[in-house]
Amino acid sequence: MSKEAYRSMWEGLGLDPKAHDALLDVLGKAYQDIYLAQAQRPDGMGYFDFVMSEVHGLRIKELMDEKAAGKKVVGSFCVFVPEEIVRAVDATLVGLCTGADFAMEEVEKLLPRNTCALIKSAFGFKAGQVCPYLESADMIVGENTCDGKKKSYEVLDGLVPNLYVMDLPQTKSPEGRQLLSAEYARFKKAMEDLSGVTLDEERLRKGIEIVNNKRKAIHRLAGLRKHDPAAISGLDALLINQVFFYDDPVRYTESVHKICDELEQRNEKGEGVFPKGTPRILLSGCPMAVPNWKLPWIIESSGAVIVGEESCVGERGTRNLTKDSGDSVEALMDALVERAFQIDCAIFTPNPDRLHHIEDMAREYKADGVIHYGLQFCQPYITESMPVEKALEDADIPTLRIETDYSMEDVGQLKTRIEAFVEQLQ
């Protein structure tokens, strides 16, 4: 990506040129060292490399063109924000950058130091004026999930022009479902007001179809990762899951199917990126947004391969499809609620489904072990990591609990622990 070609667009969005250049340089270098240095990558990754090389360039230009044509851009931090509704009013939903530390000094003037890195990252990208997605969004949707997020939105409200906060249930009770249903109805109205488009059955059905197709493509990719030897690295599969939140959905779906065709052939021929018998890891826990690649990179450079992600940037976020059999807007809205209500985020109490899903995934993907990833100061996932470890060990599935953040300070220590864990699996 030539920076000069997009300079005026970035300035128009109010980005800080120096800080933004510095971010792109760090990102480019990390991508080179972590992604492009991998051996035997499928050719289909070329598309995703291109997307990443243009993640602040061409994709932003596309969004700006959509805006010039009167369409809206909506930013979100959580898989509970229903993309189907956003699509149905011809708007675009983008996931906001939460995967790297930036402008931490500024952030710690706004939020307590012991806030998780994911939340701090969102604030850092805003405080540093380096995220073109955040700056191009006509509306930013926050959600009352964990305490850290919900309190931080009170602060974010003073920093961005159009913050919308969605309330979310904390229990899987009939009352919780009712709350989600009412909040999705309120969100539908907010999207109609923002876009000037009235949502009807046909539009909503189309929105559901587009997003379901993305999920089906991801399901196909996940299925192909069950094979030994692994035809794709966990790092590359994670990247595909991360791009899910940024790219044009139809083009994305086609590109995932294209790489799946190639992986199918690799599986038929028994070709892998790692030798057959390489220890297989299921990663479980907090979501990993771009460019949070630290832990997968350590795992895969320690002699193991990641074969699945029990995460919102992974199977937790895409597990179920929305039923499109309803014959009215109300019935389709109900189907959206039904699907989302099954997401087993650790903010729910109690949350037994997640435990079962982790065990099921470990078996399905033939994982030799599970690495549970908790971000420091993330109460919901770190608290759940303990019963998860116990349940998995009771089921004879070796488990390693990791607590970390986005800094590189603990890389050496993590590598030592992970290498020892992988050795135990061999």
Site residues (vs ligand BJ8, CB under 6 A) = 78-80, 116, 118-119, 145-146, 148-149, 286-287, 312, 343, 345, 347, 375, 378, 380-381
205 or 316: CB nearest ligand BJ8: 316
180 or 347: CB nearest ligand BJ8: 347
153 or 365: CB nearest ligand BJ8: 153
Helix, strand or coil, per DSSP, at residue 191: helix
Tokens of 198: 């009235």
Report the length, in residues, of the chain.
Answer: 426
236 or 344: CB nearest ligand BJ8: 344
Of the candidates 357, 369, 72, 322, the one whose C-alpha atom is nearest the C-alpha of residue 209 is 322
233 or 318: CB nearest ligand BJ8: 318
Least separation in angstroms between residue 280's CB and ligand BJ8 is: 24
Backbone angles phi, psi at 280, to 5 degrees: -105, 130
Tokens of 38: 């991998």
Least separation in angstroms between residue 375's CB and ligand BJ8 is: 4
Tokens of 357: 């899903």
DSSP string, 139-174: EEEEEE-SHHHHHHHHHHTTTSS-EEEEE--SS-SH
79 or 337: CB nearest ligand BJ8: 79
Measured between alpha carbons, how far is 12 from 96 in angstroms, rounded to an integer? 19
Q: Are strands 280-285 and 369-375 parallel, antiparallel or unpaired?
A: parallel
Least separation in angstroms between residue 240's CB and ligand BJ8 is: 18
Least separation in angstroms between residue 379's CB and ligand BJ8 is: 6
b/e per residue 66-100 (b: at least 16 CB within 10 A) = bbeeebbbbbbbbbbbbbbbbbbbbbbbbbbbbbb
Least separation in angstroms between residue 340's CB and ligand BJ8 is: 9
Least separation in angstroms between residue 45's CB and ligand BJ8 is: 25
Least separation in angstroms between residue 267's CB and ligand BJ8 is: 30
129 or 284: CB nearest ligand BJ8: 284
Give, as one character, the DSSP assignment of residue 411: H
